[in-house]
Structure 1
Amino acid sequence: MATFIIAALVGIVVGLLSGLLGIGGGTIMVPLFRLAFGLDPIQATATSLFTIIPTSVSGLVKHARNKTSLPRVGLLCGLAGACLSPVGVWAATKSPGWAIMGATALVVAYSSITMFRKALAAPKKGEQEKKKEVPETQGRQEGFPSIKLTPAYCAKVALIGVVAGLLSGYVGVGGGFIMVPLFMTLLSIPMRLASGTSLIAVCILSVPGTIEQALLGNIHFLLGIAMAAGSIPGAFVGASMVKKVPERTLRFVFAGFLLVMALVLVANELGLIG
């Protein structure tokens, strides 16, 4: 019971970051499941993937109500990622634990550096209202110019989904930590819309990998359910905060969060933690 309560409380923090930053929360849950709850690497990644789905759905509902997501972009990205997620799971079952954690740390660190650069280049609060970035067609209701989902644009979206899907299955994360920076860099989607759009894709691409991990018996369902009990309301609250937090601040928070997670993973694999 104590473990269940602790996991639920941690889940609230995971959910807040998920809804606010557009991540499934796996980059927090994988290290926590391994370091705090003693799961082995494959169990940690599998349980994280299982928990990501309800967490992401909760944040997505709020983003949909606030119109801070681009459904068509998220849907296309998610479907492309869902095709490759099982491949990532298969690769993880064939890899040593240090390789899984090492791959996670490298990708997270790269995403952090990319986001820091975007944050430094972002307009400050007073300038932000005058200079808005460009997403897809429904952006008109948010005050953004409309663009067409051309074949080239869709190809970029699908490519992002494929990369996120592979990483999702391999390291047990939703892929939001890589999708959000790529949405901003390659598709010019602003952070507020990138977060909600990412959660749409995460909800979809996490499903096949989760099913595969469940069939392999790698998911610790009790811990996953406990974490979800806290992350579901947390994600709802986090998503409601998106419009209230300045774009530049969101980017810095996201970048800092990613950097800390990368360092934690590296320290753990070097035996400096736990």
Structure 2
Amino acid sequence: MSIELLSLLLVGIFTGIAAGVLGIGGGLLMVPALMVGGLTILQATATSLVGVVLSATSGSVRNWRTGDLNLTVSLGLALGGIPLAQVGAWLGNQLPAAILAFCFAALQLAAIYLMGLRRYLATQELEDISTQHQYRVKTIGIGSLAGLLSGLFGVGGGLVMVPLQMLLLQSPIKFAIRTSLGAIVLIAISGLVRHGIQGNVLWLQGVSLGVGGILGAQLGTRVLPKLPERWVNLLFRFLLLAMAGYTIAEGLDAIPE
């Protein structure tokens, strides 16, 4: 195995742990890692979805086996996300590389706020007054936003699904993490199919990330019930800041002279 693929395997392990613990697909870290390896922003966003699909599947299978995955809610989220992931993947193919890079960096910075919002919501006791119909509509709406982000930026969408489930559906944080991870599987597959058709995916690099993600997600879902979230959040926020700076620099380099 080459040094490049071994490095991607290690990145996949780390992002897989993040997927299991934080309920995200890992693309926020996978995309910059692929860019460091020489891929364009479009290739990186497309290829990262391979790793996102594999790592999210690994974590969700374990959650399902332990009876901790609510398939009904996960499928509701995916129902909204699947078609919008197609739209996001198409849109990513239309945008200039610099614009895509700047937007991705903005998403990374927004993630820091959303993680803080999630921690705050976890301390609140909110009463859910939604009717069953309203609950379903909100669920599909949350999934739709996640799907657009997934197809456009090569992320799973858990970044928005977890806090929005907590805010709009009053879901407990661990419930939201697990249902988000389950929905990511189908949403990311949708975006990956579109990017594959457009020829943006580098499969070998994606599989290397994915294999590491599978190992990491299994560990992440095992430690989720035990692990204090504070240190994981702090480390992830620091990495997001660093990666956002790198992505902005890449976007500046991509501006035509």
Q: TM-score, normalised by structure 2?
A: 0.87
Letter paired with 2:138: K
Larger CA deviation: 257-266 vs 225-234: 257-266
Larger CA deviation: 106-115 vs 182-191: 106-115
The one-character-per-residue Cα deviations of 1:30-80 (angstroms, maximum 9, x if unpaired) are 111012x10011110110112211111001112223444332111110121
State the percentage of identical aligned residues.
Answer: 36
- Which of 199, 218, 224 matches 1:242? 224
For residue 51 of structure 2, what is the aligned residue in structure 1?
A: 51
- C-alpha contact 1:176 1:199 (8 A) present in aligned 2: yes
| Residue 20 of structure 1, CA deviation | 1.1
- C-alpha contact 2:50 2:206 (8 A) present in aligned 1: yes
Q: How does 1:109-258 map to 2 (within 5 A)?
A: 109-120=109-120, 122-123=122-123, 150-246=132-228, 258=240
Judged with a 3 Å threshold, the aligned counterparts in structure 2 of structure 1 residues 264 and 180 are, in CA distance, closer, same or farther, namely: farther
Larger CA deviation: 253-262 vs 232-241: 253-262
For residue 38 of structure 1, what is the aligned residue in structure 2?
A: 38
- C-alpha contact 2:162 2:173 (8 A) present in aligned 1: yes
Judged with a 3 Å threshold, the aligned counterparts in structure 2 of structure 1 residues 117 and 170 are, in CA distance, closer, same or farther, namely: closer
Judged with a 3 Å threshold, the aligned counterparts in structure 2 of structure 1 residues 189 and 106 are, in CA distance, closer, same or farther, namely: same
For residue 142 of structure 1, what is the aligned residue in structure 2?
A: none
| Residue 104 of structure 1, CA deviation | 2.1
- In the alignment, structure 2 segments of 5+ residues that lack a partner are none
Question: Aligned-pair RMSD on alpha carbons?
Answer: 2.5
Total equivalences in the alignment:
252
Distance 2:118 2:191 in 1: 31
Q: TM-score, normalised by structure 1?
A: 0.82
Letter paired with 1:88: G
| Residue 120 of structure 1, CA deviation | 4.8
- C-alpha contact 1:16 1:236 (8 A) present in aligned 2: yes
Judged with a 3 Å threshold, the aligned counterparts in structure 2 of structure 1 residues 172 and 21 are, in CA distance, closer, same or farther, namely: same
- In the alignment, structure 1 segments of 5+ residues that lack a partner are 124-130, 136-146
Judged with a 3 Å threshold, the aligned counterparts in structure 2 of structure 1 residues 247 and 225 are, in CA distance, closer, same or farther, namely: closer
Judged with a 3 Å threshold, the aligned counterparts in structure 2 of structure 1 residues 183 and 253 are, in CA distance, closer, same or farther, namely: farther
The one-character-per-residue Cα deviations of 1:78-132 (angstroms, maximum 9, x if unpaired) are 1210011111111111101122222222233223213224425654xxxxxxx87
The one-character-per-residue Cα deviations of 1:199-230 (angstroms, maximum 9, x if unpaired) are 11110111122111112211111111111121
| Residue 134 of structure 1, CA deviation | 7.6
